[in-house]
């Protein structure tokens, strides 16, 4: 693994770190290759890494990602900006590849309209009107939901948007899909699950509606309009993103840095 590419936050400090890193990587035989990299190094925060994964989603089978933290949140990143020398030394020794499954989202209106992927979460959200959806788990009807929307997150995304809507945080040793309601309507006429639902990683979650007008499918930092869509299916593991782990970082140490 000697060919690399840097995806950098567009900010002076991060750019200066990138320049410093390029110089030091030459000393251990690494070559900058923007077309066919084996390693993508992100310099910034978690957002920088998410952008890189989506930018290079067609390369996921052949590349690994590693992050250097200069941003506001570094849950995904393994090194800080003052550890460049340590990063280069560890890279020269090598590490192992950790594979993380992505959420696959298939949007239908009769036939397949969109096929999308997310690392953290995909959520259907409507801020214009109450969104009505039927929820199916592996083809079995679960509930009719009324409210702002529903968030489907993976384990790695359980600490992202899901956490802000009181979803459960899932340990890194457990692969799962999580369904969390967003501002559901709950009274004596309309009821839904209300609590987060943790599901087996092989589960298929289907969200169906006669009208998704005004609703968006938000996947990580991206979104599409769901006009004319009638069903969105969520599954886990069709694609994977690979992280290069050069040193152990305790999950609960990462978690502690969130608050």
- The fraction of the chain above a pLDDT of 70, given in percent, is 98
Q: In this model, does residue 184 exceed pLDDT 90?
A: no
**Dist CA 169 CA 162 (whole Å):** 8
CB 170 within 8 A of CB 176: yes
**Dist CA 220 CA 158 (whole Å):** 12
Q: How confident is the model at residue 59 (pLDDT cuts 50, 70, 90)?
A: very high
Mean pLDDT of 174-195: 90
Domains and CATH numbers, the chain: 3-94 (3.40.50.10330), 102-239 (2.60.200.30)
Q: How confident is the model at residue 73 (pLDDT cuts 50, 70, 90)?
A: low
Q: Looking at 46, 78, 90, 220, which residue is catalytic?
A: 46
Mean pLDDT of 146-151: 97
- pLDDT attached to residue 72: 66
Q: How confident is the model at residue 118 (pLDDT cuts 50, 70, 90)?
A: very high
- The verdict on whether 56 is a catalytic residue reads no
Which whole-number Å values give the CA distances from 100 to 25, 28, 53, 93, 163, in the listed order? 26, 28, 12, 23, 19
Mean pLDDT, the chain, integer: 94
pTM reported for the whole predicted model: 0.94
Q: How confident is the model at residue 111 (pLDDT cuts 50, 70, 90)?
A: confident
Q: How confident is the model at residue 251 (pLDDT cuts 50, 70, 90)?
A: confident
Q: In this model, does residue 71 exceed pLDDT 80?
A: no
Least confident window among 67-81, 93-107, 123-137, 213-227: 67-81
CB 152 within 8 A of CB 173: no
Q: In this model, does residue 1 exceed pLDDT 70?
A: no
Mean pLDDT of 224-245: 96
DSSP-based three-state secondary structure for 87: helix
First to last CA, the chain: 35
CB 104 within 8 A of CB 201: no
String of DSSP letters for 9-68: -SSHHHHHHHHHHHHHHHTTT-EE-SSS-SEEEEEE-HHHHHHHHHHTGGGTTT-EEEEE
**Dist CA 168 CA 233 (whole Å):** 21
């Amino acid at each position: 693994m000697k060919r690399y590419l840097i995806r950098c936050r567009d900010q002076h400090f991060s750019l200066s770190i990138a320049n410093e890193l390029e110089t030091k990587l030459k000393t251990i035989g690494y070559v900058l290759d923007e077309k066919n990299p084996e390693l993508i190094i992100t310099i910034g925060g978690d957002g920088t890494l998410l952008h890189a994964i989506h930018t290079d989603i067609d390369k996921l089978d052949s590349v690994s990602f590693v992050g250097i933290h200069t941003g506001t949140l570094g849950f995904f990143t393994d090194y800080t900006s003052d550890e460049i020398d340590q990063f280069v030394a560890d890279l020269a020794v090598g590490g192992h590849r950790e594979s993380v499954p992505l959420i696959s989202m298939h949007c239908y209106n009769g036939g397949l309209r969109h096929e999308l992927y997310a690392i953290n979460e995909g959520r259907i959200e409507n801020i214009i009107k109450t969104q009505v959806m039927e929820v199916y788990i592996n083809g079995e009807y679960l509930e009719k939901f009324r409210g702002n929307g529903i968030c489907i997150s993976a384990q790695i995304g359980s600490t992202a948007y899901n956490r802000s809507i009181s979803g459960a945080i899932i340990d890194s040793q457990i692969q799962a899909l999580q369904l969390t309601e967003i501002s559901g309507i709950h009274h004596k006429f309309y009821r839904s699950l209300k609590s987060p639902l943790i599901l087996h990683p092989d589960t298929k979650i289907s969200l169906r509606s006669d009208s998704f007008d005004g609703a968006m499918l938000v996947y990580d930092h991206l979104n599409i309009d769901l006009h004319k869509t009638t069903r969105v299916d969520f599954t886990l593991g069709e694609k994977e993103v690979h992280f290069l782990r050069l040193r152990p970082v305790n999950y609960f140490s990462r978690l502690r840095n969130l608050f």
